[in-house]
Structure 1
C-alpha cells in the first residue's frame, strides 16, 4: 500500500498539470461555460452541489458493487465449470465470445421490455459487463499451471480435486485478480448505462438531467465521479490481491 501511495504522486502531478493547462486555455480563449467549463467551475459545482449529488453517487455505488459481486461469482463459477468439463468448454466458450459482441446499449432496452424498470435489468446489465473478463482470465490462469508440478502431484497420489484446489487454483489467482480489476472498472460504467434505461436516482440520471439542461459543469462532475469510483474499485482489488497473493508479489519483487 505504501508503494502504491509513493508511486501515485507522478500521475497526480500529470493530472494537476492537465487541469492547469485546461484552466488557462478556457480562460484565455474565453470559452463559454455551457460549452466547456473550467476545472475551477467544475470543482466549485461539485462542492456546492454535493448535497444534491450525494444520493445519486451512493445509488450508483450500491448497484455497481452488487452487480460486480454477482458478476464476479458467476464469472468464477462459469470458468470452473468450463475448465473442469472440457466438453462444455468446447461447446459454450465460442458462445461466450459472441455474447460480448452485442452492444450493451442495444440490449438494455430489451431488458426493460422483458423485466420492467426495477432492479433486475440493472443487475443483468452490470453482470453481463463484469462476468466475461473474469471468466476468460480465470480459464487462462488454470491453463498456465506448470505441467511438471501437476505431474508431480499426480505421482504423489493426489486426486484431481486436490490438484485443482491445491495447485491449479492458487496458480490461477493472479489471472483471476487481473479479471477482477478489469470488471471492477467496468461495473461502474455498466451501472451508469443501466440507469439511463430508467431510474429515479444515480449518476446516469444526474448526467442525463444535467446534459438536457446544458449544465456542462454538472456533466463533468458526473464524469469525474465515474472515474473516481472506477479507480477506487480498482485500488481495492489491488490491495486485496496483495493480501491474498503474497507469494506472487514476492516473486515479482525479486525479479
Structure 2
C-alpha cells in the first residue's frame, strides 16, 4: 500500500489535455525517411534517364555529352586514379572548412559582442565575398606557390562568409527575456554566453555549416583549376584539354558526390549534437483538446 502511494506521488504530472508523443519506432522512422527521399531520388532518375536518352538518340554528339554508360566505364576502369585525386580534393576541402569554421565563429562572436567590431568587419567581409575567387586565385598561386596552400585559402574564403553570417544571426536571435533573466540572476557575461547565447545559436550555425561545406569543395576545385598537378580540378582540366568528356563527367560526378557526403556528415553531426533541436518534433507534447 505504501509502495503504490509512493509511486503515485512520484508519477510525472502533465497539464490537462496534453499527451506525450512517444518517439516513433525504427519501422516508422524508416517509412518517414523513405517518404522524404523518394521524390529527390525520382527526380535524379529522371535526370539520368534524360541524359541516357539524349546520348542514345544522338541528339548531342558523344564527344560533347557522353552516355551514362561511358562515364560509368571510366569510373570503373580507373578507380585508383580517381580515388587518388578525389582524396587530394577532399583533404584540401576539409582543411579549408575547419579553418573557415574556426575563424568564422571567432569573428562572429566578436561582431556580436561589439557593434564597433561589427561595423568595422562587416563591410570587409561583404567585399571579400563579392570578389570572384577565380579572379584572385592566380594571385594566391603567385604568392603561395603551387602547393596546397592556395587551394585551402580559396576554400576558406568561400566557406567563411556563410559561417559568419549564420553565427551572428544565431547569437542575435536569443530571446531578450532570457538574457534579462540571466542578468537578474547575477550571471557573468561569459556564463550567459556559454549557457544561453552559444547553445541558442547552434541551429543557425549548422545551417551555415551545411552551405559552407559544399562551397569549400567548390573553392578547392577552383584553386586546382588555376595551378595544380593533382586533385579533381586537375583531372577536369586535363580531360577538357584532351576532349575526354567521359573522364570530365566522371570528375564532375565524383566532385558532386564528395559535396553530398560532406553535407550528409554535417547533417548527421547536427542530429547527434542537437537532439533537442533536430528531434524536437519526435519528443514534443501533443495537445488532445
Distance 1:233 1:5, change over 3 A: farther
Match of 1:149 in 2: 178
Measured after TM superposition, the shift of residue 250 of structure 1 is 3.1
Measured after TM superposition, the shift of residue 251 of structure 1 is 3.0
CA distance in 2 between partners of 1:89 and 1:4 (Å): 41
1:204 paired to 2:213 = no
Contact in 2 for aligned 1:33/1:217 (Cα 8 Å):
no
CA distance in 1 between partners of 2:66 and 2:183 (Å): 64
- 3-state SS of paired residue (2:279): helix
Distance 1:4 1:111, change over 3 A: farther
Rg larger in structure: 2
Equivalent positions of 1:5-154 (< 5 A) are: 7-29=36-58, 31-154=60-183
Measured after TM superposition, the shift of residue 10 of structure 1 is 2.7
Say what the alpha-carbon RMSD is for the aligned residues.
1.7
Moved more, 78-87 or 54-63: 78-87
Q: How many pairs does the alignment contain? A: 255
CA distance in 1 between partners of 2:151 and 2:66 (Å): 31
Match of 1:225 in 2: 254
CA distance in 1 between partners of 2:158 and 2:59 (Å): 40
Gaps of 5+ in 2: 1-28
Q: Deviations over 1:57-79 (max 9, x none)?
A: 11111111111111111111111
1:166 paired to 2:174 = no
Q: Deviations over 1:154-207 (max 9, x none)?
A: 111111111111001100000000111000000111110111121121000000
Q: What TM-score does the superposition give when structure 2 sets the normalisation length?
A: 0.84
Gaps of 5+ in 1: none
Measured after TM superposition, the shift of residue 31 of structure 1 is 3.5
